[in-house]
Each structure stands twice: as structure tokens, then as C-alpha cells.
Amino acid sequence: MSEPAITPELVAKHNLTPEEYQKVLEILGRVPSYTELGIFSVMWSEHCSYKNTRPVLKTFPTKGSNILVGAGEENAGIIDVGDGIAIAFKIESHNHPSAVEPFQGAATGVGGIIRDIFTMGARPVAAMNSLRFGELSNPVVRRLFSGVVNGIAHYGNCFGIPTVGGEVFFDKSYEGNPLVNAFALGVLRHDQITRGAAKGVGNPVFYLGPATGRDGLAGAAFASQDLTEESAEQQRGAVQVGDPFMEKLVCEACLELLATGVVAGMQDMGAAGLTCSTCETAARAGTGIEIELDRVPQRAPNMSSYEIMLSESQERMLVVVHKGQEEAVKRIFDKWDLPWSEIGVVTDTGRMVVRHGGRVVVDVPAKKLTDEAPVYHREMREAAYMADVRAFRLDGLADTTDPLADLKGLLADHSVASKNWVYSQYDHMVRDGSIVCPGSDAAVIRIKADSLPVLPSGHPAEGQPVPEKYVAMTVDCNGTYVYLDPYEGGKAAVAEACRNLACSGAAPLGATDNLNFGNPHNPEIFWQLRESVRGIAEACRAFQAPVTGGNCSLYNQRGALGSIDPTPTVGVVGLVEQVEHITTQWFKDAGDVVILLGDVVDATDPLLGLGGSAQLRVKHGRKTGLPPRVDLAAAQTLHSTLLGLIREGVVKSAHDCSEGGLAVCLAESSFSQLVAKNTPRLLGATIDLSAAQCARLEALLFGETQNRVVITVAPADAGRVLKQSAAMGVPATRLGVVGGMELVLKVPLGEFRADLAMLHDGWWNSIARAME
């Protein structure tokens, strides 16, 4: 098949700058082949190389005594959880594909993150997601939303992994570019960690999985450019097509294969497909790799070397096998009825060599592709809109006179309302390890014996009991906060995630992040990115939650619709010491005392917690004002105090006070427990805020002052809890008593009573009604 001539126009079409192309010429000492040009294009894309973000990412804290595999080392980070057991976890985006083909884009996003887990040798045991869309009044947004949720449900349910938590937000900024961030967590023993390195000169290289097609062609490059109507139409072929049943077979085959000890290295064919898996494994090991494309299974006739190397067809793995063990490998592949082919060999040249049709079509130094991609220090400039944000004051905005109407409106807002329409489509109980399912502050799963991968015959741990572990996880980000103050918004994302873990009885172990931003060439966008990373890094240090890896997704903007709100999604994983410490957000028993840990209102904030709040957006139609500040030292003290109280056994419920403020938090605590399908347990409270010192009623009820948690305790424990909190330096206020079928709010303006069934109806059904 004839290849096109390498022209400046063709180079530009591959998103390589003239300077980058000059570097390619210097590396090769010649003009690249068409396939080599494509390889440099994808490997030097932002998606694969982080060429615009690498200097910023280096500011994250990545070290810790419990880190077994750190950020940037492999496909996923791994953290020790004790007794020789570890967890692997990571979050990644599939934004552009989901904007073009929502079902397959989201489905293959789930498939890709699952492969990142089992390629490390871990058994995937839990999944979560973080989703962002435009407003549901737009029929296009409803189509995207439905397609994405169906795609996530399809892949996760068919594969057999519980989707145990997540978040969904709606904002006009995401209208042209929805965000689909997928998280997965797996479990393994320390000695089962597998590296993605092509070790051992002379070792054979196997291709495992379905045949390569033209789907997903150059998807990594597609994800590293602005999304336009024209590019979306042209790049429908860059969206992969997933088969979750095939992935399940591949997963089980790989875990069984690893137990035999015949694997020298393994890597999934994710972004950039065969290209990435070959050059990265060689670069990590300091070896070379040579493959023959005629041996690669192909499901389309007359595929070019360019198409085979850049295809992102799903459910494929590259496995390096110890020489002499080929027959054992083939037996396992055949047992699972999986396509496979021996396609190459590890060499000592340090080069990635690809042959096709009897000739060499690629001959590139592997490390030059992976380790020497261009790195840019982009110009930064504070966003011009920040002057108006800082100047905003509440003067001229009428205070609420009907707080119950405001509360009802907030609870029915799609970003605040229950996401049951989403998570009811997910299987969150498969594998029987889910303890706290969607609907509370964080998900909690149980690690048990069958969570771990199979052991090799004769392993010392074979037949030994496995100590159960309880792992909590959450994903969080308030994009509005980050838009209005990237530094504080970044801090707030980590603080809220860690607060959700503390409310569930867990202490944080580590974090993973998905940095979703617009075009980094825009100095204001890059300023948002740099400042939010600064906030995330500072908060991760404060909470001793090192970053174990993640993903950067840039160029999230679409023509006249502009850029998304900056959305650095943070996933944090924690450990619950004992099963008795697992805590949920809903009220437990009538007569329990309701206590607020943290300030009722931050009086030093001129906006009293209403900057960037849901109340300001829903009631007043404004998205402005500096968001509430996060005092990290105070947050850390709050979390340690809360965990101490939980471990003492005195906390019966705990709920993070975030979007919608105190009133929304109290309402959710009154009706968020589900006792049967579509059947909530309604248990209200009488709350007395009549003595609170606050100049604005809506700030008292709906302000989003940070570092606050609503807990309930037995009456006999209330005095001790208030005293211990004060001794720890945590403000604590007795708010009222649990009981009844109403939420009663006593405020300086008077007393307001809300029927829980009425409030719950709007909160529970809001999204479903919008999707009818």
C-alpha cells in the first residue's frame, strides 16, 4: 500500500509543530515513514506525553511509606493496606469520545481503566465515575447523559464489577464537552505486583485479545486537540467499540497466567494501542522490542501498518513471556478461548522495530518516544474575569423570606438532587463486597478472600485465611469553586473528598486525580491549571494522601461554546480500621442529638459562604463571588477529631456539609436511607438556630462554609462529644434532636416546618422527571 509523502501539511495534520517535527528528524536522522509520523504524533500528544503539564505535575506529593508503586511508574498506583495486601487504583478520562459517541465512549472508558488495574496484577473489585454535563433542559444534553450512563452501566454490569459511587454535576459550561472520568480499584498481594516492562532479551512477545480493527484510530491524538463540530464528525472512527464479556475473559486469563510465573512483563493496549504498549514496555526495561505486523490478528482486510499500530481496538494486551514457557502460555489462552499470537521478541537494541510485509516500517529509539517528548512551560495569566469575581458582594441581593421554598428548589436542582436515576442502572452489589453503596458520603467495600487474584501452586499464603479489609473511596470536585478561585477550589476538592472519607470512618491513604481543562495554549486556562494543582498538592500534603497517578485531559472546549469550567476531579481512597467504624450519613434513631462540628458560619468571609454556592446559582442566577476558603489545618483537626469520636463508638451518623449548605445537609440526613426500592426511611429533626449570629438567613441555612460535618449521637454522649470537640479546638454546636416526619427549622425569622415526603419527592425524582 503506497504511503503519502511527508509534507508540512501532513505534519500539521498530525498536530506536530514544525519544531517538534525538526526534533523527530534529529532523532531519526532521516525523514520518518508515514507510520513513524503517526507514532510520534500519538506518543507526543498531551494524552500520552503530558508535554504541557509535566512540569506542573511534578509539584504533587508522590512519596509515602505505604506507596508500593508510585505516580508515573506504571499504569496505576499501588498502596499497602497491611497484612501483605495492597490496592491498585486510578482515574482516567474519556471525554472527547463520549462527546462524539456517548455510549461507546463511556463504555470503553470503563474498560480502559479496568485494564489499567488488572495489568498491574490486581483483581478489579470496584468502580466509580465522575460525570459533567450541560443543563438537562437541552435535548442534546439529555441524549449525551443517557448514552453515557447506559454505556457505563453496560460495561461495568457485564464485566461484573460493582459501580459503588461517583458524582454528577450539570452546568452550561459542559454543554459542548461533557466530562466522563472513570475510576477503578483492584486488590492484590505485594508479591503479585506486575510491571509493564519488556524484560529479558530473547523473550517472546504475545498479543492477546480480539483482532485489531480500524476503530479507535489515533484516539490519543484526537483527545489532545480542541473538539469542534468538524473534528467530531471526522473522528467518529477514533471512538473505540467495547466488548465487556471479552474483557472479562482477558482479565481472568491474565490473572491465571500471572499465577504461573511465566510472565516477564505485561501492558494493556490502551491509548495509542500497539504503539504505546510496545515502546513503553521497552523503555521501562531499557531494552528493545521487535514485532511483525503480519502476525497481528486483523479483522479488516488490507490494513496498513499505520492503522495497525495506531488502532485502539479494545480488550487487547501485550504479554512478554519467559523464553521456553510459550506452550504453557498458549494452553491458558486456549483454555479461555481467547485469540492470541506470538508477534515479536525482546531485543537489546533499545529500539522499537516494526516489520510489515517483509520490510521495516518503523525503527525508532524507544526511550526517545516515551522519555524525551517535548516539554513546554506555558505562559500563565490570571483570568480577566477574576476582577469581577473578587469585587462581588451580596449588596442588592434580597435575603430569603421563604427558606422552605428555597430548600425545596435546591433539593430539586439537578446537581444537588439524588443521582438514583444514574446509580440505579449500575450493579453495585456484584461480587458481594459492597458495604456502603451509592447514596452516602463515600462508598465502602470489603476486601475478602475471593477479592484477591489466584495464587501460584505452593505459594506460602495458599490456604491461609485472608484478613478482611474495609476500603472507602470517593471522587469529588466543585468545578464552580475552581472556576472562581482555582487555588481554593483545588484545596476544596481534596478537603471534601477527605471529609467524605472521615464521615464514613476512614482515614485517607492516597489520591488520584483527573485534571480536566481547556486549551493549555490559553494563558488564562493554564493559570487555572497551575493554581488548582497548587491547591491540590497543598491539600494532599496536609492530609497525608500522596498522589499515586491520574490523568490530564486538556482541550476540553468546543467552538463558540468555549471552555469547560476547570474541573480537577480528585479520587481519594481510605482505610476503615474496623467494621464497627463504618458510618453512614442518615439519621439513625429518634431522640439522638444533632451536633454540627465546625463553624455555623465563617464570619470572616464577606460573602458568608455564599460565593459560588448552589443557593447563589439556583435562587439568584449568579455564578460569581470568591468561594469559601479552606483552612487546611482546621480541616485536618476536624477530620482527626471526627475519626476519634467514630472509633470511640459514639457517632451514629455523619454527613459532610457541602453543596446547598446546612439545610440541604440536614434534609439529606433525614431521608437519604433507602430501605427498599424507591422506599426511603423518613426520620426528621427539630433544629434550633434561633440564637445563631448571622446577618443573612440564607447564609445561615444555605451558605457553604467549609470544614463542617453534621453528626448525631445518643443523648447520653452529647455532653462528652461537645466537650471533647472543644478540647481538640473544633467548634461544636448542639443543633437539635432527631425525630418526627418533618424537618423543623427554628431561625431568628421564625419557625419553618417542611414535610419530609414533599422534600424527598423533589430530591429523589428531579432527574428522572427531566429525562422523561
Residues 103 and 154: beta-carbon distance below 8 Å? yes
Nearest to 150 by CA among 100, 114, 90, 98: 98
Going from the C-alpha of 735 to that of each of 233, 404, 553, 708, the distances in angstroms are: 56, 18, 43, 13
Cα(45)–Cα(3) distance, rounded to whole angstroms? 22
Strands, E assignment, 134-228: 163-170, 179-189, 204-208
Cα(202)–Cα(634) distance, rounded to whole angstroms? 57
Nearest to 219 by CA among 177, 275, 266: 275
For residue 744, what are the contacts with CB-CB under 8 A and spacing of at least 6? Answer: 684, 685, 686, 687, 736, 751, 752, 753, 754
Going from the C-alpha of 546 to that of each of 167, 240, 341, 474, the distances in angstroms are: 22, 32, 39, 15
Clarify whether 760 is annotated catalytic.
no
Element at 355 (helix H, strand E): strand 351-356
Q: Which three cell numbers stand for residue 150?
A: 447506559
Going from the C-alpha of 1 to that of each of 213, 302, 310, 356, the distances in angstroms are: 17, 8, 16, 11
Q: For residue 336, count CB atoms less than 10 angstroms from its CB and return exposed for 0-12, middle for 13-18, buried for 19 or more.
A: middle
Nearest to 438 by CA among 419, 451, 415: 419
Task: Return the C-alpha torsion angle 20, 21, 23, 27, nearest 10.
Answer: 140
Measure CA 272 to chain center: 21
Q: Which three cell numbers stand for residue 164?
A: 459503588
Clarify whether 47 is annotated catalytic.
yes
Cα(80)–Cα(381) distance, rounded to whole angstroms? 40
b/e 87-103 (16+ beta carbons within 10 angstroms → b): bbbbbbbbbbbbbbbbb
Catalytic, out of 14, 47, 96, 639: 47
Cα(243)–Cα(507) distance, rounded to whole angstroms? 36
Which 8-state DSSP code applies to residue 454? P
Q: Which three cell numbers stand for residue 378?
A: 506555558
Cα(688)–Cα(685) distance, rounded to whole angstroms? 10
434-436 and 443-447 strand pairing? antiparallel
Element at 21 (helix H, strand E): helix 18-28
| Residue with the three cell numbers 507514532 | 39
How many CA atoms does the CB half-sphere of 632 hold within 13 Å? 18
Which region holds residue 68: left if phi is over 0, alpha if psi is between -120 and 50, else beta?
alpha
Beta bridge partners of 692: none
Measure CA 620 to chain center: 31
Residues 235 and 100: beta-carbon distance below 8 Å? yes
Task: Return the C-alpha torsion angle 451, 456, 460, 462, nearest 10.
Answer: 50
Catalytic, out of 94, 154, 322, 639: 94
Beta bridge partners of 651: 713
Residues 607 and 484: beta-carbon distance below 8 Å? no
Cα(529)–Cα(532) distance, rounded to whole angstroms? 5
* Residues labelled catalytic: 47, 94
